[in-house]
Amino acid sequence: MGKNIALFGTSADPPTIGHKKILEELSRIYDFTISYVSNNPKKKHVEDISVRSHLLKTLIEDLDNPKILFNQSVSSQWAVDSIKKSKEIYEFNNLDFVIGSDLIKDIFSWKNFDKIILEVSFFIILREGYPVESNTLQMLETYKVKFKISSIKTPDTSSSNFRLKFNSYNLPTSLIDIVKKNNLYQSTKLVE
């Protein structure tokens, strides 16, 4: 594929209206967005990856956008493996790895960081309270990391914020019933 592709892996514990907004905006920028759920080795996940991937798949199906592809088979806790699998399946060269500004400092300690920066450009989505600080920018430049800082505006919400406050308005509408019926995320505490 000679197209611009975004790779958007997320722990999505659970997927929120923020994930929905990011997917919608990525579909306006990229020819295709490939999304999947992974286990972040630095996080303790509340729900199993199979539950979280079902929720993200449901959200993507509800968006009904042919430019947004759900492919759980590329999932790995290591970005380098997800990138490699994606490139093998889709046979493209132009890949932007989507990452929140809250995680950008972590990339320098990622497994095979030196290989990753040769394979992708980072598309950094700014999150409320997590500016990309000047020392991080300097490190990106020092390591010759290709990156763009997105102008996408996301709702001030996160999966961890949802788990703290249980406000259903943080969840995409298509997921509320699934979460309630399966009593995910202590949904008995959900505030409508």
From first to last of its 192 residues, the chain has per-residue pLDDT tens of 468 999 999 999 999 999 999 999 999 999 999 999 999 988 899 999 999 999 999 999 999 999 999 999 999 999 999 999 999 998 887 899 999 999 999 999 999 999 999 999 999 999 989 999 999 999 999 999 999 999 999 998 889 888 888 788 899 999 999 998 998 988 666 666
Domain formed by 5-155, architecture: 3-Layer(aba) Sandwich (3.40)
Element (H, E) at 119: helix 113-119
Could you tell me the CA-to-CA distances from 62 to 26, 65, 66, 70, 145 in Å, in that order?
16, 8, 11, 12, 35
Q: How far apart are CA 166 and CA 176, in angstroms?
A: 11
- pLDDT value for 1: 46
Residue 144: φ, ψ to 5°:
55, 40
The pTM score is: 0.94
The residue behind tokens 């993507």 is: 60
> CA 110 → CA 42, 72, 83, 113, distances in Å?
11, 21, 13, 5
